[in-house]
Amino acid sequence: MSCAFSQEALALYLEGDLEQPAAGAASAHLLVCVECRRYLDELQARQTLLKSLRRDTAGRDDCARIRRHVMAAINDGRVQIGWRLGLERAILRMVGRPVYAAAAALLVIASVSLLAHIRAAGPDAVQGAATFENGRTLIRPSSYRGWVALRRPAGPHAVGVTYVSPDAYHQYTVTGMYPEGTVLIWQSSDTPELLASVRDSSRFDGGWGFFDFTAREGKAPAKAEPLPDSSGCRTCHQRST
């Protein structure tokens, strides 16, 4: 969803658990936001699906549908920071109600898959986060030219463009800090020079690692090892931040 309205609030609104004045704000927003109305309809459809499993055993098709809905929510980015609360609420409401026993069991199974997916991403994961091979070898992001382009008015990197993923840049505008996993790509405007810096406190002293993807023989390498401190990249980075 591109709308910034809280999806957790919409879920509570659907169940009648959102108190005033938040409930009034949600009602007013739904009158003007087609996207949120569509999202609410999808939530209601999923709720209806769960309630329809009023039997002691669940078939293979039921399991597949529940898992498909949960994994779709993961893949399209609808699962936000309130996913733990939502799963807990749903499971607790079903436990102790025999007619929902099968649906509760299915939701527990689906939530395990969801938890594994989120833990694999890490607590501070961002879209466009650094990908490493063998611990410290950085894989060059293939789509960085579609990221946010920043230009410096002065300094050693003034003649060039710095690219940062939209997600990382958004968090920077909110907190004043780039999140863990952020990749900054600097591309020179008049030479083949292509440099990268990665914020990762678990891998690099000082919290940042630096990499050189400058093209050799006309093609930029797909991966790079971290540069030593003697390269001067850390000093330059500290001066510009």
Among residues of the chain, what percentage have pLDDT more than 70?
59
Tell me how crowded residue 79 is: count the other CB atoms within 10 A of its CB.
19
**pLDDT higher for 20 or 196?**
196
- Residue bearing tokens 């993807």: 213
Query: What is the mean pLDDT of the segment spanning 202-218?
Result: 88
Which amino acid belongs to residue 93? R
Distance of CA 25 to the CA centre of its chain: 27
For 11-58, the pLDDT digits (tens) are 778 777 767 777 888 888 888 888 888 888 888 887 777 666 655 555
DSSP string computed for 77-119: T---TTHHHHHHHHHHHHTT-GGGHHHHHHHHHHHHHHHHHHH
The mean of the pLDDT values for the chain is 73
Q: Tell me where in the chain the CATH 3.50.70.20 domain(s) lie.
A: 132-240
Question: What's the pLDDT at 182?
Answer: 93
CA distances to 11, 141, 152 from 217, in Å: 55, 20, 28
Q: What is the DSSP letter of 7?
A: H
Domain 132-240 sits in CATH 1.20.1300.10: no
For 108-138, the pLDDT digits (tens) are 555 555 555 444 444 445 567 889 988 889 9
